[in-house]
A = this chain, B = another copy of it.
Amino acid sequence: MDPKSAYRELVERGRELAYLRALGALAGWDQRTYIPERGHAHRAKAFAALTGVVHRKATDPAIGRLLAAVEDSSLMEDPDVRANVIRWRRDYDRATRVPERLAVELAEAESAGESAWAEKRAQNDWAGFLPYLRRIVELKKAYAEAVGFEEELYDALLEDYEPGLTTREVARLFAELRPRALDLLKRIQASDRRPPVAILHRSYPQRDQEAFILEILPELGYDLRSGRLDPTLHPFAIRIHPGDVRITTRYFEDFFSAAFFGSVHEAGHAMYEQGLPEEHWGTPLGESVSLGVHESQSRMWENFVGRSLGFWRYFFPRAQKRFAALTGVTLEDFVFAINEVKPSLIRVEADEVTYNLHVLLRFELELALFRSELDPSDLPQAWNEKMRAYLGLEPATYADGVMQDVHWSGGSFGYFPTYTLGNVYAAQLFAAAERALGPLEERFARGEFGPLLAWLRANVHRHGRRYLPPELIERATGEPPTARYLNAYLEAKFGALYGL
């Protein structure tokens, strides 16, 4: 086959798949926002129908032949063609290596697992949940064997979320973090400074919160002409297709931080998606590169920007005008309050210092599971031991411990590390941006968020999946991924706040 025609057909097939997936993304958004209560059962079947169509199209043997026709040609000298074809080949091979029978069993076990998790967690019933989890771990091991790996099973799982990063590399990064995070937490707990968090728990009417968020996000760079904000139970950001990248948030009228920082976090994800090159839509060059890089964007906007003193130098007067609850509160007290460090049992409520310890714990347990050093039945005990060691806490229930997250029940092993990788990348990228642009907090204090976004657009967003995550980070920052910048950032920020 003529390589040019083959490439053109690959692009067309990619676009068709992207548009079909877009309809699934929209249905997912709707399912988590506005679907009527009796619509859920049929919605699940609509997803299944679409998944079937998409899977058959994505694994069509014709794609293998089209790829081969381009791979053997001089078209590969075009860097765009080369990048797309390499990523397509990788995706196609991984998708086709999994026997259909295993894929179906896994999908069923994950679906059953998520339902069982919701039910058994509500009853704090670990023993009832264990058989589901055991089955998923077994199937995920078979899956990892099927797709293949370099050094160990867990590499194959990581590859789904953070391509190009090995278990060995993640373990090395986390080893840089662990002692420093534990030490910092210890010194913070010994400090006699305590943030005045009660000011965040006064009355913050939902309508005012929403108006405030909708006023501020566009100033950060989230384009509402290509997006929108809706309420939901579990916040998320989602690209339907170019021109439509939505975020959601959850409001508590007696807590300021949840909706506000949640929205800035999701807007960080959304700005990444809005910054992907539209001309490459439907091909890898138009896609985000990994969950870790995605999380670097959300965490950077949420924490490095949104929880900084400079940010609030600019926005606090407006917040005081909007919320009577902030009358008489000083800027410094407010910024200390939104940065409280306090060990807690629940990952999603954790602060910047303890968050990574929650993630490390999960990574270590997953690794032990997939190295068969730990049986699923031993998870609760191992969980509780690590919680004591890292955070000095022990959950009173399974629901607040080993059963708190949905990920494992849905087969998402290898996913948790990307949360902390996001923090690692965020710190490293933020430091590189400051080397290029000068101190950023001074800019934030003047309401200048454009330069940071432009730097991220140029160094991260516009590349899509051109580079693997470690290569992308190295090109953007001059160094391979390192936890040094995250350690330094946390030390400097929380050292100042807690007077260490």
Contact = CB atoms under 8 A, between A and B. Distances in A.
Interface residues of A, number: 41
A241 interface: yes
B241 A38 contact: no
Interface in A194-253: 223-228, 230, 240-244, 246
B243 A34 contact: no
Nearest to A246: B36
Contacts of A240: 39
Contacts of A227: 36
B50 A244 contact: no
Contacts of A244: 35-36, 38-39, 42-43
Contact of A16 (B22, B41, B52): B52
Contacts of A39: 226, 240-241, 243-244
A20 B50 contact: yes
Contacts of A16: 49, 52
Contacts of A224: 36
A46 B30 contact: no
Interface in A287-343: none
A45 interface: yes
Nearest to A224: B36
A246 B43 CA distance: 14
Interface in A408-445: none
A434 to B, nearest CB: 32
Interface string A179-193: 000000000000000
Nearest to A44: B19
A280 to B, nearest CB: 13
Interface string A31-71: 00011111111110110111011000000000000000000
A27 interface: yes
B241 A36 contact: no
B42 A243 contact: yes
Contacts of A243: 36, 38-42
A213 to B, nearest CB: 16
A23 interface: yes
A107 to B, nearest CB: 16
Contacts of A246: 36
Contacts of A27: 23, 26
A24 interface: yes
Contacts of A30: 26, 30
A309 B26 CA distance: 43
A53 to B, nearest CB: 6
A20 B228 contact: no
B225 A42 contact: no
Nearest to A48: B19
Interface string A255-296: 000000000000000000000000001000000000000000
A21 to B, nearest CB: 9
Contact of A22 (B22, B42, B241): B42
A364 B46 CA distance: 42
9 contacts: A16-B52, A20-B46, A35-B244, A37-B226, A38-B225, A39-B243, A39-B244, A41-B243, A42-B244
Interface of A: 15-16, 19-20, 22-24, 26-27, 30, 34-43, 45-46, 48-50, 52-53, 223-228, 230, 240-244, 246, 281
Chain A to chain B: the 9 pairs with minimum beta-carbon distance, closest first: A39-B244, A19-B49, A38-B243, A42-B241, A39-B243, A19-B46, A38-B226, A23-B23, A22-B46
